[in-house]
Structures are given as structure tokens and as C-alpha cells.
Structure 1
């Protein structure tokens, strides 16, 4: 589960970097590659959130409080 979370986080950063690259290089007002990269980032973020919820439910991670 930890590897899946790490891969999802790396994919989030990669798609954010790709969107930034396309935003800086675009000559038109609307670049579909930038929009696609940002949409993928949202999808990866949702995947990461669901993985964390599943890990909590299955007992792989445990919530801790601040003492």
C-alpha cells in the first residue's frame, strides 16, 4: 500500500510539472494538453485519497492524535 501511495504522489507531481511545461510553452490561449494534464492530476489526487482511506480501513495505517 505504501508503494501505491508513493507512486500516486509521484504521478501527481509529474502531471503538475507537465501542465506547467505546457502552460509556459503554449502559444494559443487554450492548450488541450495542459487541460488533460491538470485533469489527470485531479484523478491521481482522488486515487491517492482513496488509497489512504482504504489503508486506514484495512488497518495498514493508524490515526494518531497530538498529545
Structure 2
């Protein structure tokens, strides 16, 4: 369940980055004035990234996630 939530958050981050790329390519053509779609998509990406980081830190703090790296040897 934990891995699924983290994977969904990463998918949202990548999706908003892809949306920003789409709007950048679409709005860069012609003399049409640019709207704020690209900036909004990038702002959502930053927001999703910060939210994911905070959620992972809180899950670690409350014991829902445990590090499984190389154990320290003394």
C-alpha cells in the first residue's frame, strides 16, 4: 500500500512535468500570446514534490517507513 501511494505521487509529478512540456511546445508556436498553463503545471509539480517529501519524512518519523539500507558495522 505504501509503495502504491509513493508510485502514484511520482506518477503525478511526472504527469505534471509532461503537461508543462506539452503546453510549452503548444504555446510556443505562432504569435499567439502565452497563457499560464505551463507555469501552473510546473507549480503543481513543485507542490507535488514538496508534499511527497513531507509525507515520506512524516511516515519515517512515525515508523510507517523504515530504512533498509546497508547496516552500520561497528
TM-score w.r.t. length of structure 2: 0.75
Unaligned runs of 5+ in 2: none
Unaligned runs of 5+ in 1: none
Superposed CA RMSD in Å reads 1.9
TM-score w.r.t. length of structure 1: 0.82
Find the counterpart in structure 2 of residue 60 from structure 1. 64
Higher relative contact order (CA 8 A, sep 6+): 1
Query: Which has more helix, going by share of residues?
Result: 1
